[in-house]
Amino acid sequence: MTTTPDPSPQKPFIITRLLDAPRDIVFMCWTDREHIQWWGPKGVTIGHTQLDLRPGGMFHYSMRTADGPVMWGRWITREVVPPERLVFVNSFSDEAGGITRHPMSASWPLEILSTITFEEQDGGKTLLTIEWLPLYPTEEERKTFDAGRDSVQAGWSGSLDGLVEYLATIYTPKSKIQ
């Protein structure tokens, strides 16, 4: 099993969403333990959270599905540039915070480099861009990632829908206040 980078980089998965909230509020929803409860695929409830948002720090969390099983995940922070950019390595984990394989796909990449950018837009909106790229994938992991793009799109779309719903509970755009 090789884990050296391919000299021809893999195409990243990218998703964007224009959010009706200022970027400092959107950034807070990604970086403040109190506000990150929206995180995760649709139908998943976030339980335990430990958030140490500094280079080398970890965001460790549990996710419970509607039918009961608990999965664990973690980010290892690489870069934090408030309120512009957040870079971390995302992986599934165990309860102690160690890296584990995806619970439903043994060939899913072990680690994903995640780059989140927050661009201020006219009218107090934020263009959120998420870029995902497997970190040192094997050839099998690379193929699994490429084959799973539709699933990743659906997962991120559900997560971002949750963010939109959460933002509506903490922020009302001035244009909507009469």
Report yes or no on 95 lying in a domain: yes
- pLDDT bin (cut points 50, 70, 90) of residue 7 is very low
Report yes or no on 2 lying in a domain: no
Report yes or no on 135 lying in a domain: yes
In CATH, what number is assigned to the domain containing residue 89? 3.30.530.20
Q: Which of 131, 155, 153 has its CA nearest to residue 63?
A: 155
Q: Which of 95, 91, 106 has its CA nearest to residue 50?
A: 95
Rounded Cα distance, 113 and 120, in Å: 23
Per-residue pLDDT tens digits for 76-85: 999 999 999 9
Rounded Cα distance, 155 and 162, in Å: 11
Rounded Cα distance, 113 and 109, in Å: 10
Q: Which residue segment(s) compose the domain that 167 sits in?
A: 13-171
- pLDDT bin (cut points 50, 70, 90) of residue 2 is very low
Report yes or no on 176 lying in a domain: no
Q: How many domains does the chain have?
A: 1
pLDDT of residue 117 exceeding 50, the answer is yes
